[in-house]
Amino acid sequence: MKPSRSIVHNDKKGMQKLLRNEHGIAMMLSITTVTVIAILTAELIYEVAVYQKVVNNTVDNLRAKYLARGALQLGRLQVHAANKALQKIKQIGKNSPVKNTDVNQIYNIPLILPPPLPSSATLVARSALDNFNEELGLHNSQVSVKLVPDSSKLNLNRLIWLAERKKDKDSDKDEDEDSDDEDGEGEDDDDDENSEKEEDSDKETEEDRGKRLQTVRATISETLQALMDKKFEDDEDFAQKYDSITADELVGNILAWIDKETFLDAEGAPKESFYSNHDPPYALKNAPLYSLSELHMVKGFDDELVEFVSQNFTAALTDGININRMSEALIQALFPSFNEDMTQQLSKHSREVGFSKIEDFWKYMQDEFEFSEDDKKELEKRELALTTTETAFRVLIEAKSGDARRVWVAQLGAAPPEQRKLMSPDEARKESKDNQEKTTSKNDNNPPPIVYLRTD
């Protein structure tokens, strides 16, 4: 029996409808598939971009770190080169065409790599600088090194360290030669006995060292007060803010911070009380300063006072105050009899001409300002040592690579005494020298050691 025409027609319509429905599902599946692939592709591209950014940042940070490390070595080499040049100048003497002040330019001019291109540079100079930068390989990177001499400042660690008094070597040598001429040879035993007696007589008692420490502390306090008084005259805002604070208070609080044998602060209170009641509490150092940034933690100091004190004081171990680089404020504080004209005259001569030896300085003081031997002795009684050389430096380093930036601060010079054995600065320098003899005996090209390093 054949199906009727109506049934066949209905089956065709149903089949066509079903086929149309299937076309719609296929389109939906296609759109969904394309959408998923697009999302996955976008996610992949994003992940690759993020990963690439992370890799680039890591590379930039690593490059900046090693640039800063290399810059620190460059700073040490600058100091070493300057010291070598000064030694050569001393060997040549007065006939040297290069002066001490010329060598100081090594300290005064920051080292920047790659070097900045002057706007007035010629095409030849630009091409040469481009070739130099290409050889450096500092692509999208820059590093700068700045040396800041610290020997022209007063050392706050002298509050607990004592410099050993040095005998007049020339006079001792003359006396020895005279005695040798008179007594002849064969008196070695007597000489040994005499030298032992002299050493015993030269040894200071604890009472003597205590008196000298009190003198040093009084000198630092008087110098700081003189600097503050000068600042009060020149800066009315500073005077209004800190007029109630004295140098004795600040020095007393610094002493309480670094001296384990001092138990009271400047106000006569137990020194631990301020720090234990602070929020959050922290412990005193009870050891010498490594950096004046530590003053931020000392009672009575704020940012402005730390900045003010840092201009003329240091924590670096030095042979004395370098008279060739002293600030005018410090000159006037150390020599109260100086008026403004005398201060400016000495400062200008020190920086433009300079003194090669400390004897030249005292001769200048005698000729220009009628300084006497008594004035010189008075300075020595105040436990103030002067020098003409730089022995301590701060190295300020900034390294950039891409978006990465590193800022380091290092201190070059002799290491401070260990806490377990508080030595004088001279003893500390001798120990540091003895520790380096093995290396320097074979190689005299060792740059100065790193005493302190702060990295970010």
Task: Give tens-digit pLDDT for 104-133.
Answer: 777 778 889 888 887 788 888 888 888 888
Q: In this predicted structure, what is the pLDDT of residue 438?
A: 43
Furthest C-alpha separation in the chain: 160
What is the DSSP-derived secondary structure letter of residue 452? Answer: E
Q: In this predicted structure, what is the pLDDT of residue 197?
A: 47
State the pLDDT confidence band at 376, using cuts at 50, 70 and 90: confident
- Domains in the chain (CATH in brackets) are 60-150+392-412 (no CATH), 154-165+206-387 (1.10.40.60)
CB 103 within 8 A of CB 89: yes
Q: What's the pLDDT tens digit per position in 274-306?
A: 999 988 999 999 988 888 989 999 999 999 999
Instruction: Give me the mean pLDDT over the 393-401 stretch.
Output: 92
CB 254 within 8 A of CB 314: no
Q: What's the pLDDT tens digit per position in 150-174?
A: 888 999 988 988 765 554 444 444 4
What is the DSSP-derived secondary structure letter of residue 270? Answer: B
Please give the torsion angle defined by the CA atoms of residues 322, 327, 328 and 332, in that order, rounded to the nearest 10 degrees: -60
CB 78 within 8 A of CB 145: yes
Q: In this predicted structure, what is the pLDDT of residue 22?
A: 59
Average pLDDT, the chain: 80
3-state class (DSSP) for residue 22: helix
Q: In this predicted structure, what is the pLDDT of residue 413?
A: 81
- CA 188 to CA 3: how far, in whole Å? 147
Note if the pTM is more than 0.75.
no
Which has more pLDDT, 176 or 357?
357
Instruction: Give me the mean pLDDT over the 335-360 stretch.
Output: 88
Which range (177-191, 320-334, 351-365) has the least confidence? 177-191
Which range (20-24, 213-217, 394-398) has the least confidence? 20-24
CB 377 within 8 A of CB 351: no
Please give the torsion angle defined by the CA atoms of residues 446, 447, 448 and 450, in that order, rounded to the nearest 10 degrees: -110
Q: In this predicted structure, what is the pLDDT of residue 7?
A: 52
3-state class (DSSP) for residue 229: helix
Other CB atoms closer than 10 Å to residue 298's CB: what's the count? 23
Q: In this predicted structure, what is the pLDDT of residue 99?
A: 74
- CA 102 to CA 111: how far, in whole Å? 16
- Cis peptide bond N-terminal to 280, omega within 30: yes
Checking if the pLDDT of 325 tops 70, the result is yes
DSSP per-residue string spanning 136-184:
HT-TTEEEEEEEEE-TTSEEGGGGT--PPPPP-HHHHHHHHHHHHHHH-
Q: What's the pLDDT tens digit per position in 190-243?
A: 555 555 544 444 566 778 888 888 999 999 999 999 999 999 999 999 999 998
CB 68 within 8 A of CB 143: yes
What percent of the chain has pLDDT above 70? 78
- CA 103 to CA 96: how far, in whole Å? 12
